[in-house]
Amino acid sequence: MTSASSKRVTLITGCSSGIGRASALAFAEAGDRVYASMRDLSKAESLLEEAQQRNIAVIPVELDVTSSDSVEYAINQIIAKEGALNIVVNNAGIQRAGAFETLSDVQVRDVMETNFFGVLNVTRSVLPHMRKQSAGRILMMSSLSGWAGLAGDSIYAASKFAVEGFTEALRLEVARWGIELALIEPAGYKTDLMASRNRADASESGPYAEFNAQLGETLSNDAANAGDADEVAQLLVTISRSTSDQFRWPVGRVAETIQSTLFAADDGQRDKVLRSAADIDWWVIGERVKPSN
């Protein structure tokens, strides 16, 4: 089944900034008819202005991945207008950094609702349409944190580990209908998610105060040295056209190096790599602190 416009119809979630915004522009420049979704359409103005400057078109659509009703409505509107949906990029995500004990239940659940259950909502909604057209590609935005749990990133890692397991199983369930899935696993890239993520409770008291204070500095340095989101966006376009059967796609030298090191290492070596990556050797091997009552 082809779309009314005879172009690939692409839906990308989380397009108000970062990788989502860059991807909307990249897919449009590649010739797709792009629906750029976001929870707040008032944030679409700058995206539309840049698209106009590049002489391309993107179509903003209101979609909250945490609401199954919002997801169903948006996708049904796209199908009604286009007749097909060829590519879906599950990109929307949030991050809350900090020692697990210092994160509130609300913060933990917000991450899981957006990063994991939001992916499930979108995927569940598009699968019937892709089965009907016997084709489709779903690109899942995972992370280095999807297979390497760094200290201070436990909840974000949990959400991405969940996405990885879900995607690996699902691709085997839907392959018979020509539906393909891929995991994209970047390390740090310049996005609002990285710049604005919760820097944890760096209060002067509490057992994790020093840890969270150091984590805040580490995250600031990571953000300053992060890669360009356009690199990820261009790879997403490439994957959407690829005939390769590659399933996991690490993005950037850091992700590729850490992935190759971790999967060649035993558990002891893996721990050393993860401790070094999170810069927490001083915390792990430091003086033991007596538990507070």
CA dist., res. 57 & res. 197, Å (int): 30
Q: Following DSSP, what letter does each residue of 135-166 receive, concatenated?
A: -EEEEEE--GGGT---TT-HHHHHHHHHHHHH
CA 278 to chain centre: 20
Pinpoint the alpha helices (H) of 225-266.
229-241, 253-262
3-state secondary structure of 5: coil
Single-letter amino acid code for the residue at 248: R
CA dist., res. 182 & res. 142, Å (int): 10
Token pair listed for 220: 């600031």
Given the residues 35, 156, 189, 208, select the one marked as catalytic.
Answer: 156
Catalytic residue list contains 156: yes
Q: Are 219 and 197 in contact (CB under 8 A)?
A: yes
Q: Are 121 and 44 in contact (CB under 8 A)?
A: no
CA dist., res. 97 & res. 139, Å (int): 25
Q: Are 33 and 5 in contact (CB under 8 A)?
A: yes
CA-CA-CA-CA torsion for 161, 165, 170, 173, nearest 10 degrees? 180
Cα distances from 6 to residues 1, 35, 126, 199, 241, in angstroms, run 10, 15, 19, 45, 16
Task: Catalogue the active-site residues.
Answer: 156
